[in-house]
Structure 1
Amino acid sequence: MSSEAAAPHPDPDQHRPVRRMAARSRAEPHRTATWLELFFDLCFVVAVAQAGRELAHAVADHHLGTGLSGYLLAFFAIWWAWMNFSWFASAYDVDDVPYRITTLIQIVGVLVLAAGVPRIFADQDVTLAVAGYVLMRVAMITQWLRAARSERGSARTMALRYALGIAVCQVGWCLLLLVPDDVRPYLIPLGVIAEVAVPVWAEAPAKSTWHPHHIAERYGLFTIIVLGETVTAATLAMQSALDEHEALGELLPIAAGGLLICFGAWWIYFATPIHGLLRANRQAFLWGYGHYLVFGSAAAIGAGLEVAIEHAVGAAHLSAEAATAAVTVPTALFLFTVWALHSRHVKQGSEQAVLPAAAAAVLACTAAGQGGVLLAGLVTAAAVAVGIVLHTRRA
């Protein structure tokens, strides 16, 4: 057989500006993130940075309750819109002109959301944030309607359920703007529950054909981006502190501890390939939903480092333990959540105890006051080292 005869036939739809949105196969080889998905992730980091920055300011100003509630709400909107796009793209990305334009509209939505984040923290004004969120979600409705048009049977029912469920939720968020401010805190949790219930309800008739390798890569890439934003936030805070106070001796231990935490967080998250666990919707949903805590805690570490730096130079009027807790609590949450989602499925024997014990030890570092951040970094590094030794012995 000649080489010409053996060459694969080109896809006739490959260069068409509008294509049929057919479901992609879970067995598709060499499935990786696209350039558009990477651009999408980078734009979402703008909103992540805003949420982290506002959390840091709230904690430093003794407004922990307001700051934490605002952060949880803002980060839910960011995470949920990103997550829905990522799983949809894994199943239906056709990379044609309408798909690209709709994705770019979603990017506009997250930028509007990011612009509204400071208002959530300042005076609980959610109007602009809701507008950006609804814009992203309406764009998602059009994607599911396109998928429904190309599907048949139970798969079409699934796509229509997604479109209907998302639409109903967005009507609810718009109505939320009409109720009195003091009533909204009681209604927001209902909206969150409705949003997270949509995929469970929609995929009852049929399962979307998301790709395990692709999903694992998408989550890994976003984890890297969030950790990178944490390093950036801490670096900018340190630069500002040095310019204004020149307190190098107080800042170096925080810098060293922060870097050890970020390096250790990266090492621990990527220590185990996870795509093999994502075989069915039940495991995948728990894993995907659990990343709200992974992403949220990773971004909060950066906010905590900002608080610790401000305390070290006397700009934040908190106790040393409270400033250190701003770093140790999200670090411990990250370690424990990664263990719950990843490590416990592959670790054996004494390996199972490493990350839970490290999380507890990191929390204990809070009592060390200003030196607690460095100690937390050393504990995180020790967890990595112990994990490597135990894994090597088992191998």
Structure 2
Amino acid sequence: MSAEAAESHGGAASEPAVRRMVPRSRGEAHRTATSLELFFDLCFVVAVAQGGRQLATALGEGHLRVAVLGYLMAFFAIWWAWMNFTWFASAYDCDDVPYRVTTLVQITGALILAAGIPRMFLDRDFTLGVLGYVVMRLALVTQWLRASHGESGAARTMTRSYAAGIALVQVGWVVVLLLPSSVVPWVLPFGVIAELSVPAIAERRVQSTWHPHHISERYGLFTLIVLGETVSAATVAVQSAVDEHEALGKLIPVAVGGLLLCFAAWWIYFAAPIHEHLRSNRQAFLWGYGHYLIFGSAAAIGAGLEVAVEYAVGKAHISAVAATATVTVPAALYLATVWALHSRHSKTGAAQWVLPVAALAVLACTAIGESGVLAAGLVAAAAIAVGVWLHSREVVA
């Protein structure tokens, strides 16, 4: 870290006075997530929980199209705002008063977005959701503008490009609210493409100084939080079902299968460090963008377990295969995506194919029906056992 940057990041016990926001070094030692970042994640998980709850409700009622489209859009807003804050903080976190206050504004936007998610599902009313999203994004614009004062040359152009690009897209989202509700679903994909394009355009000449180890830790921590929310949602669903129906015999297989899936999801994600793979924007962007599927599928597993519990006690108005699919489809997607983004970089030989095969096997468990969730959990556990066995053989060899 430069002397100027070191001065801006004084001792942990010092008061966060107003400091000059300068880029942090990629080679900074002992870079870890801050308590503010962890608090930010915990507040964002409220929106994740709302999205999962609405997904479970829509799936349980058999409204597949509403469930999938509503969830994809709601989770994109959550994920994209979280991701942009995370990468910005990795490069420019100065932890002073303005930075903390601006982060609080972003958290406020996340809570507004969470409050608007039910309306997005039920009435296709995007007003509150877009308002919360725009609040989060405009707060980040002020951060990028502030960062531009600590940069020069191409780096300053990069920071200003971020600010201008994000602001322009937010104008577009506000305009979307003025369109007829029947047109909005057709326009939303263009807004998503515009959002995804901003980082690539802004960093086409110079890269922001994100920290590989810090970024990989932040993504890992958010994965843990999402998996925790999944376990929590499933636990509440089981408890409620037991209290109301006392259908313990039918619920135990779902609970066991769900627990095995969540444990497997944790195991495979953290099986090997990934930060050494994140050496350039090309690698990091693909990895970071791909986490939309990892985070989204992890949260969807929890929603699916809620649906499976509701089916077990006769509340869900769908077939046994459909109820099982709400768990097995996101679980298979999670396994496949973690393999594509993580595992394939550290596995060789037969171990390379454990997760792809496991993903297909979990998906095949859908056809089993009522026992499919338990079968999927056993498949995931078996995949871990096989992976550990193959790894031990490599070590011995």
Q: What is the TM-score with the length of structure 1 in the denominator?
A: 0.97
Distance 1:294 1:13, change over 3 A: closer
Aligned-pair CA distance for 1:11 = 3.6
Residue 157 (str. 1) matches residue 157 (str. 2)? yes
Q: What residue number does 1:227 align with? A: 227
Contact 1:324 1:372 in 2 (8 A): yes
Question: In 2, distance between residues paired with 1:18 and 1:28?
Answer: 22
Question: In 2, distance between residues paired with 1:11 and 1:281?
Answer: 28
Q: What residue number does 2:18 align with? A: 18
Q: What residue number does 2:51 align with? A: 51
Within 5 Å, which residues of 2 pair with 1:250-269? 250-269=250-269
Letter aligned with residue 52 of structure 2: G
Aligned-pair CA distance for 1:346 = 1.2
Q: What residue number does 1:285 align with? A: 285
Question: In 2, distance between residues paired with 1:185 and 1:303?
Answer: 23
Q: What residue number does 1:244 align with? A: 244
1:150 is paired with a residue whose SS is coil
Aligned-pair CA distance for 1:12 = 7.5
Contact 1:362 1:380 in 2 (8 A): yes
Question: In 2, distance between residues paired with 1:169 and 1:391?
Answer: 47
Question: In 1, distance between residues paired with 2:217 and 2:9?
Answer: 27
Contact 1:26 1:211 in 2 (8 A): yes
Identical counterparts, % of pairs: 69
Letter aligned with residue 205 of structure 1: R
Q: What residue number does 1:216 align with? A: 216
Q: What residue number does 1:119 align with? A: 119
Q: What is the TM-score with the length of structure 2 in the denominator?
A: 0.96
Contact 1:343 1:352 in 2 (8 A): yes
Q: What residue number does 2:361 align with? A: 361
Q: What residue number does 2:42 align with? A: 42
Q: What residue number does 1:374 align with? A: 374
Aligned-pair CA distance for 1:13 = 7.0
Distance 1:118 1:12, change over 3 A: closer
1:207 is paired with a residue whose SS is coil
Show CA shifts across 1:154-196 (max 9, x none). Answer: 0000000000000000000000000111111111000000000
Residue 346 (str. 1) matches residue 361 (str. 2)? no
1:22 is paired with a residue whose SS is coil
1:235 is paired with a residue whose SS is helix
Q: What residue number does 1:174 align with? A: 174
Residue 299 (str. 1) matches residue 299 (str. 2)? yes
Q: What residue number does 1:323 align with? A: 323
Within 5 Å, which residues of 2 pair with 1:80-95? 80-95=80-95
Which 4+ residue blocks in structure 1 deviate beyond 2 angstroms?
10-16
Contact 1:311 1:323 in 2 (8 A): yes
Question: In 2, distance between residues paired with 1:83 and 1:260?
Answer: 28
Q: What residue number does 2:143 align with? A: 143
Gaps of 5+ in 2: 1-5
Question: In 1, distance between residues paired with 2:7 and 2:353?
Answer: 51
Aligned-pair CA distance for 1:205 = 2.1
1:370 is paired with a residue whose SS is coil
Q: What residue number does 1:3 align with? A: none
Q: What residue number does 2:3 align with? A: none
Q: What residue number does 2:333 align with? A: 333
Question: In 1, distance between residues paired with 2:385 and 2:273?
Answer: 18
Question: In 2, distance between residues paired with 1:344 and 1:116?
Answer: 38
Contact 2:8 2:20 in 1 (8 A): no
Contact 1:157 1:205 in 2 (8 A): no
2:272 is paired with a residue whose SS is coil
Contact 2:335 2:356 in 1 (8 A): yes
Contact 1:113 1:130 in 2 (8 A): yes
Cα RMSD after superposing both structures: 0.9
Contact 1:365 1:373 in 2 (8 A): yes
Distance 1:74 1:13, change over 3 A: closer
